[in-house]
Chain A
Amino acid sequence: MRNKCIGRRTVAFACPPRILAGETVVSKIEGEGPLGKFFDTVLEDDTWGEKTWELAERKMFEHVVRAALEKANLSPGEVDILLGGDLLNQIISANFAARELGIPFIGLYGACSTMAESLLLGAMLMDGGFASCVACAASSHFCTAERQYRMPLEMGTQAIPTAQRTVTGAGCTLLADDTLIAKAQYQAVYVTHGVIGRVVDLGVKDAANMGAAMAPAAADTFVTHLRETSQTAESYDIVVTGDLGRLGGELFQELCKKENVDVAERHVDCGNIIFAPDQNVNCGGSGCACSAVTLNGYLLKRLEAGDFRRMFFMATGALMSTTSGMQGESIPGVAHGLVIERR
């Protein structure tokens, strides 16, 4: 029975889940960025009083879930499913935070696409009748990502101009159906459609240029969705990509143009807007938290305020590991999409 699909990859929810609340935490540098005033918590110290950065990331993950529940006046026991992940090996931030939270948990790894991946699956689980309240969360930390993927922090090397800075932070979105009695931060914001990403690889090998590696996946997801639903880019007030950065964002627009989709006017990349150009971050932000905090801190608020009505939100993931990189493999990319509407 396949009765909620439009074409091959777009799913249309019969009962669109409502976004109840969103919660964010970021570190100091994101707090000093252009979106600083939209975040719920800005940390002064990126270890948050913990002994290691891994513990700090875990704490952020747990914190955003608890704080989002508090906003909605719910307890962890009232959430049916927790979906989420992060960038670390064996997604330890999400797994260990879930141990403390005690909510039935499905761990996800989609690299930086995790926020969209968790929302997509969360909405599908709800529309399938398997849950009436789902928490979707993702986190990343500059220091934990650097030591896993790159060089020690104190190593005196130069940043590459195409590189992006991993956002330190975590974001959580609460999805609920109308049967749940809760205090809502957002009154009328719904997830109406989802698009499952395809893994696309056009042979970019440079791990310091992940925006370029992921842009083809984003273009593939967006263009496919428009064709399947017979829409044009004008059907959306805003088209958001997760962390393509300056170069990747440009390439995404270019690739869409080749398919006769002109998205330049309405395209916003989270990695581009989370940092100001003078913050010394080269091509912008990246990491699971980049799209997670921009969506939950900034975009949902603008949607609720009525600044735009229909948003196509994609988070993009670069699916390589240090091993695959050292063995000379190129970087596969994926982009999951969601249609988020104010009704």
Chain B
Amino acid sequence: MTNKKPATKQELEYQQLVSERAPKSKVLAQCVKAFLSGGLICCIGQLFRDFARLCLHLGETDVASFTAIVMVFLGAMLTGVGVYDRIGSWAGAGSVVPITGFANSIVSPAMEFRPEGFVLGLGAKLFSIAGPVLVYGIGASIVVGLVSLLF
């Protein structure tokens, strides 16, 4: 795809030097943080789930919808008041993977591109981050659906 010739010896040596010197991400510590924060978010989700089931006496499908709606709302609200990015800088994948992270990925471009107008700014950029997730998520579910239909 690129127009470049194969890497020269000088380039390879330099890239080696760069990777030796570059400060590394603390993978293990990050995994622990992600586990704790992601787990905490899921526990909060579970609380709302139990609340819907035990207090509101909703059916199984409604319980799932209720929990998703509440968690998306929380993610969106925390993004709106400028807290979610701070949680994210500590939690990493822990706050990206749960459904609150999905809300964050939609609300943050909406806020960012509002000055460019409602249609070509907010509207067009709303799914600029979540878009690929939707495309391949829906794509994969079609494939899985076809497979389960056939076998």
Q: Is the interface of A mostly helix, strand, loop or mixed?
A: loop
Separation of A282 and B25 alpha carbons in the complex (Å) = 11
Q: Is the pair A153, B88 in contact by a Cβ cutoff of 8 Å?
A: no
B residues contacting the other copy or chain, number (CB 8 A): 41
The number of residues on chain A lying at the interface, defined by a beta carbon within 8 Å of a beta carbon of chain B, is 33
What 0/1 readout, one digit per residue, does chain A (310-334) give for beta carbons within 8 Å of chain B? 0000000000000000011110000
Whether B15 and A158, one on each chain, are in contact in the complex, defined by CB atoms closer than 8 angstroms, is no
A111 proximal to B (CB < 8 A): no
User: Contacts A157-B88, A158-B88 hold; do A251 and B18 have CB atoms under 8 A apart?
Assistant: yes
A179-233 at interface with B (beta carbon < 8 Å): 202-204, 209, 212, 216
Listed A/B pairs (16) with beta-carbon separation below 8 Å: A151-B108, A151-B129, A152-B108, A154-B107, A155-B129, A158-B88, A161-B25, A203-B7, A203-B11, A209-B22, A212-B18, A246-B23, A247-B23, A251-B17, A251-B21, A327-B1
Taking a contact as CB atoms under 8 Å apart, the answer to whether A204 and B17 are in contact is no
Smallest Cβ-Cβ distance to B93: which chain A residue = A158
Whether a CB of chain A sits under 8 angstroms from the CB of B96 is: yes
Complex: how many Å from CA A255 to CA B112?
40
Query: Which of B10, B80, B88 is in CB contact (< 8 Å) with A155?
Result: B88
B111 & A328 in contact (Cβ 8 Å cutoff): no
Asked if B84 and A154 make an inter-chain contact with CB atoms under 8 angstroms apart, the answer reads: yes
Query: Chain B: interface secondary structure?
Result: helix
Contact of A204 among B15, B86, B89, B109 (CB under 8 A): B15
Distance of A292 from chain B, by nearest CB (Å): 25
Nearest-CB residue, chain B, relative to A209 = B22
Interface pair B23/A154, CB less than 8 Å apart: no
Return the CB mask of B131-148 against A: 1 if under 8 Å, else 0.
Answer: 000000000000000000
Does A73 count as interface, using CB distance less than 8 angstroms? no
A338 CA to B22 CA, complexed, in Å = 29
Say whether B92 faces chain A, with CB atoms less than 8 Å apart: yes
| In the bound complex, CA of A95 to CA of B56 (Å) | 60
Which of A154, A157, A250 is B21 in contact with, Cβ under 8 Å? A250
Q: What is the CB-to-nearest-CB distance from B129 to chain A, in angstroms, rounded to a whole number?
A: 7
Contact A155 B104 (CB under 8 A): yes
Residue B74 CB within 8 A of the other chain? no
* Complex interface bits, A263-293 against B, C-beta within 8 A gives 1, otherwise 0: 0000000000000000000110000000000
